[in-house]
Structure 1
């Protein structure tokens, strides 16, 4: 074997070994194995070692040039990996002795801290690109020279030694909440998703979507919506979701007659929505629960109705677009037989275990996820899917893939910890909140607009977890300060941060889908904005009326959800421009107006109940008119494709 090939195999094995150790260490910590053995550690000790392992894997697997393919590990990357692992272990072992020396800034504290910061920023650049790194560097510069910033945003400048020591060792810095969540909850749920794939569960859910939706008009589009929702809710990444499901669904949608840019747009919107849909929500829900000091179950319940409205709108528009274009069902030969799909009946049991433990027994998310993992593996090994059972090698590979897959999230979370630490140590968090509130001038609409713009700008090009952490620290406090419900504030910034994934000019998920579809990137992005319109409207509504978050009296919640469903349907008709026949501009405008009026919750302002009455009434008049006058005028092609 050539020397270069043997080096590549060796480095790959070392990286794979470290990745598995990372996952097993996380599982042991989450399942309280040290406590069972009578051992006691600070959480920061465990987190530091996880970070060291992640950095080592990053330098062994990610080339310095992100566009290049790694053929071997250069000596400097091997040194960086070894140094990162050594620093992580040193911090983990020595943390109890060093944490009290932060303010004294001895060399044994600030030198490892400075090394960690440099290695972390370089590894993050390799994993995610320059966007997040530049944001972090701006905050680091503020931490060092914040006293030179004029006006209300002036901060307390810190020395290099103090800043490096504080960020590396304090629990408000790198080893803080975002990294703690990534090192426990996120790893558990990514392992759950990988084990689901290894045992055939992902194929089962795709086949289920195909079986359930393939026989209806535009079945390929509906399959994309359902499959991407299921996969996206556990994948943790909008772009990963686009790539994983889009390579199957986008060609299928195009073959059925959809324009390439619309095929990519539907997939991008469906994949992005997975970050808003419980149970996982791109891991942001777990961080949100920590920030808000409430249970994960409460956060997931609050997020459920807006997410379902998002997918309802996308599903309706997909159906109506198919009707307008005369898209036929998926050919029967491509739909799997129900008997073969039903052999995977056991896969939903893993989700049932997860949901029961989270909502009925109030287990910690990570512990519930590991038990769900056990259920998936046990049933998969015993029952299999379509006559195939996973091998032990495939199960083992799921652990390796999990270790590799969490590295980026760990690095993002650690980098977010730098931002949070600087916000705390310089006083910028308070100053920025005060400045936003001042600019808003007590006008909630203006503050919401500014918050949405800031959220979309900060979200451009950033991964899910990084987006939410930044927005939760920078924007949400200003909204809470002026009286917005704290759950609504955090979901608001999360929604607009996520919408940067499909909003030009930097619509990462839409651009990834456009590449697969062979479509114009910007055209795909603007089509995605049209399909995902609910995510720009619903957050504004639940800020003014948290009844859409299932908060408030039952009658208000039922009324708000019912009229919201009607409103989404009406607006979607107007956006698609089709019901039983194509609609002209005036009718489309009337449907959209009726839908918007229906969407407004009755508790949003005094007399808002009349907007519901007018909107629903107008909507049903329009529907009756179209039903009476339009059913016989449908194009023959569309009628043949409808079912």
Structure 2
């Protein structure tokens, strides 16, 4: 029995790996062996150590930090990512990959080695500068093609072509053109190109939060999310689907990839849903919609959210707070629709033997402390970078607490470390800081654990895995920097924004619709970070020109860039879910998009009425907005699924959807209309149900063959 279980587990892991490699470019790596594997391991570890060091005790000038960050990323990408899928042969690497890696090291070290000379030249490039700058652009494009995919690479190349051949462009796109020297200089020797804002965010906030997620995985928090979800939601109507929603929302805090989230949590939830009678396409759709929404869920959203800090110039806590209600409505919508689907098809919750012991699960609630710590740090005004660092310390501490043999000694060591640091601060006449003392106590505890146990393999693995996860982000943000550099140099952003507003004839809804299409199309096959950079520099200004709040405009394009992962015809998260569910990909994508209908509605609502973003809203207004919006989602879910307390007839479904929309939109008139429709439909549900006593109201046609 044990051997069979292990065989099934091995088979599941192999399938996960196969699906990840098919749909997630970040996973399409070669398996190195021998000395090359050791070199890659050392470089990945060095990458993480470099980032932690420069974030704490040894800060570097911006250009040096970003250049080395890019150099590490490019070097490792050419070692780990093959030129083509056919070249992914275990342990083998082409000579040209070694050459490209060596050139990447040179590019990464150029700024540190010649920093003073480059700054003193103030824009005057030497021949060597030109060669290195041009090489940097070419290496970034090739690394992006390998690690991220072709779409974003082609877009970056088109933008470079537009900059160079500006005089030949038609109509409003024409500009005086940028000569080759100026283009190369802008791309690598200013902070407006490759070393611009996107890479700045990648080399600070994003990398540290990826490390935070990596440490969480090693601590076992990912598995705990699944256990907690099953304990809380497993017994409810349609329990497996609700487990998928709950666990995927939590998994989104430690995974920046929709596809990775689908495969890791979906390998657990999708078979469970199929076993209890859910259609394959519906099971895959639930997981894809929930996993994609993980990037929308505060406090730790997708990597693109950190770019907003620089692009809009506001703190991260304000962004996370504004995104809270839309995220709640997103997952509430999926939860409601899966509930109604389960009732319509007569699906129950999980059997008792599949539910873990709640007492044992709740005993481990301390595993959520790192996420709560991040929220606390952000809410109290600690910077994003410091919050991530403190979060990593908290994860390590929680991981140590899990070791039963050290549970007694760790609190003593931690307390002693805290008191010792506090006394030292007072004795040295330094200002006492609780946070500093907590960090000192954590470091002391880690040091003691390493001394007694000597096993810090998990810590090293977390550093290596975090760096590996960051490679795709490095490539995407470097390529995005090229795009931003061209937009800045040519003024393309304002031209396109004015053009978009002109085509839409100044109509807000039409402009929003065109912007949504642009974000979804650009997001098909592109990472969220790159998609957001493009749409925020090209499409978001069009919305802002119409007088819309900056934060609302940027969240609008952010949402639709993420939702592209579940929008057919190219819906990578849905396709990955179909691989796990063995379902038809397009139908799975359609189911996912239908379940995530809130994500296609709510952005319009919060752009038109900023109260959904908690902007200029009182507590009482906030409660009312939540009540009406959730009621609206219930009505929309009933209308789309066709079931509430009983079957919803076709002539009831249209008013249900329209009434739900008016409830989501926060205004007095729309609320009155929506509540009236809601009450009437609810009354009809109970009145008709009384007339149908004794008649079957469900049609449980699902068969066990779906499993």
TM-score (normalizing by structure 1): 0.93
Following superposition, the deviation at residue 168 of structure 1 comes to 0.9
Query: Which among 447, 452, 455 is matched to residue 519 of structure 2?
Result: 455
Q: Which residue of 2 aligns with 1:611?
A: 673
Q: Distance in 1 between matches of 2:172 and 2:610?
A: 32
Following superposition, the deviation at residue 190 of structure 1 comes to 1.3
Task: Please tell me whether residue 240 in structure 1 is matched to residue 260 in structure 2.
Answer: yes
Q: Which residue of 2 aligns with 1:538?
A: 602
Q: Distance in 1 between matches of 2:181 and 2:692?
A: 74
Following superposition, the deviation at residue 427 of structure 1 comes to 1.5
Q: Match of 1:579, SS?
A: coil
**Could you list the per-position Cα deviations for residues 571-598 of structure 1 after superposition, in whole angstroms to 9, with x for gaps in the alignment?**
1111121122322212222322221221
**Could you list the per-position Cα deviations for residues 415-450 of structure 1 after superposition, in whole angstroms to 9, with x for gaps in the alignment?**
000000000111212211221122122111111111
Q: Match of 1:327, SS?
A: coil
Q: Which residue of 2 aligns with 1:42?
A: 61
Q: Match of 2:235, SS?
A: coil
Seen in structure 2, the aligned counterparts of structure 1 residues 495 and 259 have a Cα distance that, compared at 3 Å, is same
Following superposition, the deviation at residue 518 of structure 1 comes to 0.9
Unmatched runs of 5 consecutive residues or more in structure 2: 1-29, 408-448, 701-707
Are the counterparts in 1 of residues 655 and 677 from structure 2 also a CA contact under 8 Å?
no
Task: Please tell me whether residue 25 in structure 1 is matched to residue 50 in structure 2.
Answer: yes
Task: Please tell me whether residue 375 in structure 1 is matched to residue 437 in structure 2.
Answer: no
Query: Which among 351, 357, 382 is matched to residue 331 of structure 1?
Result: 351
Q: Which residue of 2 aligns with 1:365?
A: 384
Are the counterparts in 1 of residues 240 and 350 from structure 2 also a CA contact under 8 Å?
yes
Instruction: Compute the RMSD of aligned alpha carbons.
Output: 2.5
In the TM superposition, 1:86-165 aligns within 5 A as 86-99=106-119, 101=121, 103-165=123-185
Q: Which residue of 1 aligns with 2:627?
A: 562
Q: Distance in 1 between matches of 2:277 and 2:539?
A: 43
Q: Distance in 2 between matches of 1:613 and 1:118?
A: 58
Q: Distance in 2 between matches of 1:64 and 1:622?
A: 62
Q: Distance in 2 between matches of 1:351 and 1:6?
A: 33
Q: Match of 2:567, SS?
A: coil
Are the counterparts in 2 of residues 581 and 630 from structure 1 also a CA contact under 8 Å?
no
Are the counterparts in 2 of residues 189 and 369 from structure 1 also a CA contact under 8 Å?
yes
Following superposition, the deviation at residue 124 of structure 1 comes to 0.8
Q: Match of 2:298, SS?
A: coil
**Could you list the per-position Cα deviations for residues 544-590 of structure 1 after superposition, in whole angstroms to 9, with x for gaps in the alignment?**
10001111232544433221111011111111211223222122223
Are the counterparts in 2 of residues 174 and 417 from structure 1 also a CA contact under 8 Å?
yes
**Could you list the per-position Cα deviations for residues 11-49 of structure 1 after superposition, in whole angstroms to 9, with x for gaps in the alignment?**
111111111111111112222x125xxxxx311211100
In the TM superposition, 1:35-74 aligns within 5 A as 41-66=60-85, 68-71=87-90, 72-74=92-94
**Could you list the per-position Cα deviations for residues 188-214 of structure 1 after superposition, in whole angstroms to 9, with x for gaps in the alignment?**
111111111111111111100011111
Q: Which residue of 2 aligns with 1:203?
A: 223
In the TM superposition, 1:282-293 aligns within 5 A as 282-293=302-313
**Could you list the per-position Cα deviations for residues 382-437 of structure 1 after superposition, in whole angstroms to 9, with x for gaps in the alignment?**
32489999952122111111111100001100100000000011121221122112
Following superposition, the deviation at residue 127 of structure 1 comes to 0.8
Q: Which residue of 2 aligns with 1:423?
A: 487
Q: Which residue of 1 aligns with 2:562?
A: 498
Q: Which residue of 2 aligns with 1:478?
A: 542
Following superposition, the deviation at residue 626 of structure 1 comes to 5.5
Following superposition, the deviation at residue 612 of structure 1 comes to 3.9
Q: Distance in 1 between matches of 2:659 and 2:588?
A: 28
Task: Please tell me whether residue 594 in structure 1 is matched to residue 619 in structure 2.
Answer: no
Q: Distance in 1 between matches of 2:247 and 2:259?
A: 15
Q: Match of 1:303, SS?
A: helix
Q: Which residue of 1 aligns with 2:278?
A: 258
Are the counterparts in 2 of residues 488 and 546 from structure 1 also a CA contact under 8 Å?
yes
Unmatched runs of 5 consecutive residues or more in structure 1: 36-40, 639-643
Q: Distance in 1 between matches of 2:103 and 2:692?
A: 71
Q: Match of 1:235, SS?
A: coil
Seen in structure 2, the aligned counterparts of structure 1 residues 594 and 62 have a Cα distance that, compared at 3 Å, is same
Q: Distance in 2 between matches of 1:126 and 1:105?
A: 30
Q: Match of 1:366, SS?
A: helix
Task: Please tell me whether residue 270 in structure 1 is matched to residue 278 in structure 2.
Answer: no
Task: Please tell me whether residue 351 in structure 1 is matched to residue 413 in structure 2.
Answer: no
Seen in structure 2, the aligned counterparts of structure 1 residues 619 and 241 have a Cα distance that, compared at 3 Å, is same
Q: Which residue of 1 aligns with 2:472?
A: 408
**Could you list the per-position Cα deviations for residues 89-120 of structure 1 after superposition, in whole angstroms to 9, with x for gaps in the alignment?**
11233234214546433213221111111111
Q: Which residue of 2 aligns with 1:398?
A: 462
Greater Cα offset, 204-213 or 281-290? 281-290
